[in-house]
């Protein structure tokens, strides 16, 4: 997708109408589940009475806010997207994006978090925008992209290393995390992190000594000391009841509990913890729950979710087991290229996917094969509906004849055309908003001031937040769609509009 130059009229616009959205109260700190692994002064406490030093950056030094893993050739985004926006405003907008929501908006904001872009003009060495981009990914459980972003930047900065260490713990790479900590003289681990890594390396005496020292100095709480003591010598506590779960679970606590055979269920924990339940040791039910949560947030690929869904035969009924059974029955029918069986199973599996909020994942996996089958009637219409939620949406609209007003409306949106009129029956506010957005490609007034002030990225983040819930003020939603189209983000606008029309996210 590429952002086109704005119309000359826009450049001359006075832009008197300011954007109405607020930045929210998203705190500029890391997720509250991060482990306390690095000794560092508190950000709000002065460590010296001397005047602050002026920071000088050598020519050619990499600035963290410029680091990304998606180059311009991939995204088509202009390097100066952040331009004149205030870094803290951009950071708060990043952190205010929801972890789940309209898939098109999840994809857009993930791309913005990973893109290589020039830092804002007023960016400092604090790199608050980089950390906010990173924390958006962590809050959504997108640990592999977050790891790639951190490793591109280099985890030497203690703030980055802290996050990298926890991502390594949650993805089964504790040895690598501890090896990196030992090899980094500039990284000073806290007592719990040091004890954990000493124990992982087999130096139990040093770990036990560190536990006693840390507790005596008041660096380890009584509750944490009890957990670490069991981690170091579980046989000593054999037969005793399990410890109560820490009130604020961190990846370090989580790994110790797993080592003790007291794995807490991850479904009540932040999304990032669900990755630990993707392993076979967690059990299939835990894997299924984790895969569904992560798939809804766009944190894993559909193929990984499907592999877990089809790993075994469900031995129970109800809830996730019914969804697994429905998908496996449909998958088998599709593999057999049996139109009669597919016609029978497609409505059932689609209802199951709607129940779990997994429609777009299902569409990405199956739409291509579905659309090549000789289906008729309701099954054919449903197959086309699935196809409209996939990357093939435009081909679906170009290659089929609409069977009713609603489908005709959807096909017009998929082709990027203004619908002749909303459907005569069943018209709702969202349909009207989508029709309005596709009837006018000029930038909406609420965003022109931001665009004229060279704050295009900020406008995109505000528009994404407006659409993410799939519901809300329909005038705002129409304006957000118009902004995407005015800036040349046609694919994003069409996907978002089709998802608003087809998915029930309200």
> d(Cα 442, Cα 463) in Å, to the nearest integer?
15
| Least confident range of 7-16, 147-156, 450-459 | 7-16
Residue 400's pLDDT is 93
Residue 15's pLDDT is 34
| Least confident range of 117-126, 131-140, 421-430 | 421-430
Tell me: pLDDT of 469 over 50: yes
Residue with tokens 């994404």: 464
| Assigned domain for 201 exists | no
> d(Cα 479, Cα 467) in Å, to the nearest integer?
10
| Assigned domain for 486 exists | yes
pLDDT grade for 23, boundaries at 50, 70 and 90? low
| Assigned domain for 256 exists | no
Mean local confidence (pLDDT), 118-133:
90
Identify the bridge partners of residue 38 per DSSP, sorted by sequence position.
189
| Assigned domain for 172 exists | no
Tell me: pLDDT of 75 over 80: yes
**Residue 275, class by beta-carbon neighbours within 10 Å (0-12 exposed, 13-18 middle, 19+ buried)?**
buried
Q: What is the pLDDT of residues 280-331, one digit of tens each?
A: 888 999 999 999 999 999 999 999 999 999 999 998 888 999 999 999 999 9
Please state the three-class secondary structure of 107-141 as a single string.
HHHHHHHHECCCCCCCCCCCCHHHHHHHHHHHHCC
| Assigned domain for 333 exists | yes
Q: What is the pLDDT of residues 353-369, one digit of tens each?
A: 999 999 999 999 999 99
Tell me the pTM. 0.89
Q: Name the residue range of residue 388's domain.
A: 320-502
| Assigned domain for 351 exists | yes
How many structural domains compose the chain? Answer: 1
Tell me: pLDDT of 340 over 70: yes
CA angle 76, 67, 81 (to 5 degrees): 40
Residue 429's pLDDT is 87
The values of phi and psi at residue 81, to 5°, are -60, -35
Residue 122's pLDDT is 84
| Assigned domain for 275 exists | no
Asked if 114 contacts 145 with a C-beta cutoff of 8 angstroms, the reply is yes
Tell me: pLDDT of 58 over 60: no
CA angle 453, 454, 460 (to 5 degrees): 110
Torsion sign, CA atoms 185, 187, 189, 195: negative
Tell me: pLDDT of 22 over 70: no
Residue 323's pLDDT is 97
As a whole number, the mean pLDDT across the chain is 88
Q: How far is C-alpha 183 from the geometric centre of its chain's CA atoms?
A: 31
Measured CA to CA in angstroms, residue 104 lies from 135, 156, 462, 484, 497 at distances of 19, 34, 14, 12, 9
| Assigned domain for 424 exists | yes
């Amino acid at each position: 997708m590429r952002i086109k130059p704005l119309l000359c009229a826009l450049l001359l616009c006075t832009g008197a109408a300011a954007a109405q959205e607020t930045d929210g109260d998203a705190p500029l700190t890391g997720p509250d589940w991060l482990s306390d692994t690095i000794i560092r002064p508190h950000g709000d406490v002065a460590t010296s009475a001397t005047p602050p030093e002026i920071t000088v950056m050598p020519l050619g030094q990499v600035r963290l806010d410029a680091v990304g893993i998606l180059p311009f050739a991939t995204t088509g985004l202009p390097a100066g997207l952040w331009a004149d926006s205030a870094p803290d405003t951009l950071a708060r907008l990043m952190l205010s994006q929801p972890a789940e929501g309209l898939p098109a908006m999840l994809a857009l904001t993930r791309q913005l978090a990973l893109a290589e872009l020039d830092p804002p003009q007023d960016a400092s060495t604090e790199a608050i925008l980089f950390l906010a981009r990173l924390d958006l990914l962590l809050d959504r459980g997108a640990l592999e992209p977050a790891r790639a972003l951190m490793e591109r930047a280099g985890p030497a900065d203690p703030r980055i290393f802290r996050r990298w260490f926890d991502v390594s713990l949650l993805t089964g790479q504790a040895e690598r995390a501890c090896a990196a900590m030992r090899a980094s003289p500039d990284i000073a681990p806290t007592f719990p992190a040091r004890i954990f890594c000493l124990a992982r390396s087999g130096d139990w005496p040093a770990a036990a000594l560190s536990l006693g020292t840390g507790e005596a100095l008041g660096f380890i709480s009584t509750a944490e000391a009890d957990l670490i003591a069991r981690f170091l010598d579980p046989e000593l506590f054999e037969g005793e009841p399990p410890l109560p779960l820490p009130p604020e679970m961190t990846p370090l606590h989580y790994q110790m509990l797993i080592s003790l055979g007291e794995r807490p269920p991850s479904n009540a924990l932040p999304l990032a913890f669900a990755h630990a339940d993707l392993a076979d040791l967690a059990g299939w039910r835990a894997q299924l729950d984790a895969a569904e949560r992560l798939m809804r947030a766009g944190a894993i690929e559909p193929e990984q979710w499907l592999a877990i869904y089809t790993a075994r035969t469900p031995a129970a009924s109800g809830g996730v087991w019914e969804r697994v059974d429905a998908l496996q029955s449909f998958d088998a029918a599709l593999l057999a290229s049996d139109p009669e069986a597919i016609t029978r199973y497609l409505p059932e599996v689609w209802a199951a996917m709607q129940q779990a909020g997994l429609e777009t994942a299902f569409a990405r996996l199956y739409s291509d094969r579905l659309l090549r089958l000789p289906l008729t009637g309701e099954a054919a219409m449903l197959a086309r509906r699935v196809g409209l939620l996939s990357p093939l949406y435009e081909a679906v609209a170009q290659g089929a004849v609409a069977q009713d007003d609603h489908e005709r409306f959807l096909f017009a949106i998929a082709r990027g055309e203004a619908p002749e009129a909303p459907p005569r029956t069943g018209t709702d506010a969202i349909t009207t908003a989508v029709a309005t957005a596709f009837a006018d490609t000029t930038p909406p007034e609420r965003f022109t001031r931001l665009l004229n002030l060279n704050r295009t990225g900020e406008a995109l983040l505000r528009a994404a937040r407006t659409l993410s819930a799939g519901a809300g003020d329909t005038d705002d939603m129409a304006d957000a769609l118009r902004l995407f189209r005015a800036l040349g983000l046609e694919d994003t606008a069409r996907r978002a509009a089709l998802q608003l029309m087809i998915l029930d996210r309200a």
